Amino acid sequence: MVTGGSRGIGLATARRFLAAGASVTIGAMDPGRLDAARKNLDGDVRLATVAADVGTPEGCRATVEAALAAFGRLDVLFTNAGNYESAPLEDVAEDLWDRTIDTHVKGTFFCVQAAVQALREVSGCVVTMGSDAGLLGFKGGWAAYCAAMGGVLSLTRQLAVDLAPQVRVNAVAPGPVGTQHLYADLAAASYGGFDRVEDATQAVIDSVPLKRIITPEEVAEAVVFLASARSITGAILSVDGGTTIALP
């Protein structure tokens, strides 16, 4: 089960799991994007889709129920759904704060809660979507997002304790990934107030020790690795090109 699976990292991960022989359910809020994702994945017969809002417990339950109805069991849950909104500290509205915390932290918790019985039955695993934003502070008004990512990483460790030994729980923590969200932010010059997108993009690249933007496919590789790494639980795997070890 891949939440937020209609594009970006979620879509790349769904493709990677399908290539590995798994049956996959992808969830998203927008039915149109789910239809586009199905076409992007060539309408694979081992693919199911569900439209639901995992920012609510009801949406989490509906998502997990759809996966179980489609394939009868659930071995891996990847809680990837997220929103990426920034605002100066003075301008952060309550609805932006709530939306960000609900989607990432509440959504992660209640998706795991909804799936835990099915996961225990097969000694399955959870991979949560974190970020280097849960380990670092960012300029540009990312307080809500950094708080949410810190919450997800802390929650991941606690879930690993609570669900051992039957269920493993790990997190991926990407750095700057080449998704629509990143390029929209760059176009809006939210990285340091640059006048040109090219300058903002280069600044992001310069901040990464490996000197490149991470691809969604590289994050997907890490998710599939954690799903198959039977001796790893409670880990945070940074897929960031080294951003969390580099001085600014």
List the catalytic residues.
145
Beta-strand pair 125-129/76-79:
parallel
- State how far the Cα of 224 lies from the Cα of 17, in Å rounded to an integer: 7
Q: How many CB atoms lie within 10 A of CB 121?
A: 13
CA 79 – CA 210 distance, rounded (Å): 27
Cβ distance 26 to 10 under 8 Å?
Answer: yes
Strand, helix or coil for residue 14: helix
Which is nearest to 126 in space by CA: 139, 112, 105? Answer: 112
Q: Residue 201 to residues 44, 130, 180, 197: CA-CA distances in angstroms? A: 35, 22, 13, 6
